[in-house]
Amino acid sequence: MESDALLNEEFEPPGCPAGLAGGESFSGNFLPPWTEADHQPVTAAKAHRFKESRHAREFRRRFFPDTTDKEWRDWHWQFRNRIRDADTLSQMILLSEDERQAFLHPGGALPFAITPYYASLLDASDARQPVRRTVVPVIDERFHAPGEAGDPLNEDMSSPVPGIVHRYPDRVLFLVTSICSTHCRYCTRSRLVGNNVRNITAEQWDRAIAYIAENDHIRDVLLSGGDPLTLSDDALSGLLSRLRAIPHVEILRIGTKAPVVMPQRITPALTRMLKRYHPLWMSIHVTHPDELTPEMTRACVRLADAGIPLGSQTVLLLGINDDVETMKRLVHGLLQMRVRPYYLYQCDPIPGSSHFRTPVSRGLQIIQGLQGYTTGYAVPTYVIDAPGGGGKIPLLPAHAVGRDNGDLLLQNYEGRLYRYPDSETAATGIH
Ligand code: SF4
């Protein structure tokens, strides 16, 4: 039975993880070579049969030998035993000099934390491994480039009450917690995440809910943070029921990375509870195909079976997922998990993020490499969240390339030109 003891509270750092043999230190890449099978998303039918992926089993055997199956599969255990310092991490992976220096001289506000499960996905010897780069700090975080800002989207300026960002007329972002189980190094809300001082209080929840209730044009509430799925079932249920009781709130959404970094969080009890608050949608933050494990598949299957429409949000990251082949593997794997690729974000200019940012042309090339070459459902919308608070602006490769004798000239995905007899020249504004 699920324990609901965790109500948005930080645990003490675990120090040396339970079961890590005293004095044991890194002695090479403990992982067996990654095989194709490790990265194959499993079908819904098979998902319930998987208990633990091979690399997670190996990792647990080595670093948490006394941990039981029950503990490993308990999200509270995963959260309590997060790896939060260089000493503990360096017993699991060989830190590069760059990473070691970054721990000694942190560059920004975001602390370090990863769940044991997510740590099992890291390559122990290759500091360039994409998944590892997303969570292990490097010294580049100390370099602040022009145009970077702590709150690049100006969310604080669009906040009528603490915890609410009201940018678009009919919907609000509700930051319900500042806690995440695993910290992404490129986090847009690094000014807030992992910072206990700024954790959201019950009184702020009350004010935020009152604001939503008083503004009857708000029909859509997106819960985010931090990660709302670090809240206990009871706390989340209480929040959802209060929002559901507001007559003009039509849909509720949750933005989370839990199915990716702590899939143990997606329990049958959680999905049973979430089902009570339909229509409820979920956006899952996914970065790379290496994250598409049997554990994540099982989490997504449970959510989808509970009738929750699933979309993915992916941040475009330099050297991590910024090529067509990687992105294709990611979006194809997601569709097999019943997750619709939703947004591909240009990386926001938070301080110390320039080593993650690609030119915008790279994002357009990726969309061009997907559009027409794969299922339409697999193609996310590429957006820049406009610095300063302009909202999401979609970017598309140009397909309407001109006009000739009243015809609209269109370029297809292979670069071939076609004509469309378009009589509404004036209305389209394309001349
Ligand atoms: S899961 Fe989201 S909110 Fe949490 S650290 Fe990552 S990007 Fe930031």
In the chain, the number of structural domains is 3
Whether 340 is catalytic is no
Question: Are residue 404 and residue 344 in the same domain, yes or no?
Answer: no
The Cα 298–Cα 314 span in angstroms is 20
Could you list the pLDDT tens digit for every one of the 431 residues in the chain?
Answer: 333 333 333 333 222 333 333 333 333 333 333 344 444 444 544 544 546 788 899 999 999 999 999 999 999 999 999 999 999 999 999 999 999 999 999 877 789 999 999 999 999 999 999 999 999 999 999 999 999 999 988 888 899 999 999 999 999 999 999 999 999 999 999 888 876 555 678 899 999 999 999 999 999 999 998 999 999 999 999 999 999 999 999 999 999 999 999 999 999 999 999 999 999 999 999 999 999 999 999 999 999 999 999 999 999 999 999 999 999 999 999 999 999 999 999 999 999 999 999 999 999 999 999 999 999 999 999 999 998 889 999 999 889 999 999 999 999 999 999 999 997 655 555 55
Report in angstroms the alpha-carbon separations of 218 from 172, 292, 390: 7, 34, 19
Catalytic residue of the set 167, 257, 302, 357? 167
Question: Are residue 200 and residue 111 in the same domain, yes or no?
Answer: no
Q: What are phi and psi of 220, to 5 degrees?
A: -145, 125
Question: Are residue 122 and residue 269 in the same domain, yes or no?
Answer: no
Question: Are residue 329 and residue 411 in the same domain, yes or no?
Answer: no
For 161, the token pair is 């009450």
For 139, the token pair is 């010294």
Domain that holds residue 414: 398-431
DSSP string, 65-109: TT--HHHHT-HHHHHHT-B-SHHHHHTTS---HHHHHHHHS--SS
Q: Is residue 14 part of a domain?
A: no
Contact 380, 285 (CB under 8 A): no
CA torsion 17-21-24-28 (nearest 10°) is -80
Question: Are residue 227 and residue 374 in the same domain, yes or no?
Answer: yes
| CB neighbourhood size of 35 (10 A) | 10
Condensed to tens digits (0 to 9), the pLDDT of residues 370-391 reads 999 999 999 999 999 998 889 9
Question: Are residue 415 and residue 303 in the same domain, yes or no?
Answer: no
Please tell me the distance between residue 420's alpha carbon and the centre of ligand 1 in angstroms: 44
Question: Are residue 266 and residue 387 in the same domain, yes or no?
Answer: yes
Question: Are residue 369 and residue 425 in the same domain, yes or no?
Answer: no
Among 82, 109, 138, which residue terminates a domain?
A: 138
Residue type, 381: T
What is the value of pTM for the model shown? 0.88
Whether 348 is catalytic is yes
Question: Are residue 64 and residue 164 in the same domain, yes or no?
Answer: no
Q: What are phi and psi of 49, to 5 degrees?
A: -80, -20
CATH code, domain carrying 331: 3.20.20.70
For 250, the token pair is 């039509």
Pairing of strands 171-175, 220-224: parallel
Please tell me the distance between residue 155's alpha carbon and the centre of ligand 1 in angstroms: 15
Nearest to 180 by CA among 119, 126, 255, 121: 255
Torsion-angle region of 296 (φ positive above 0: left; ψ -120 to 50: alpha; else: beta):
alpha
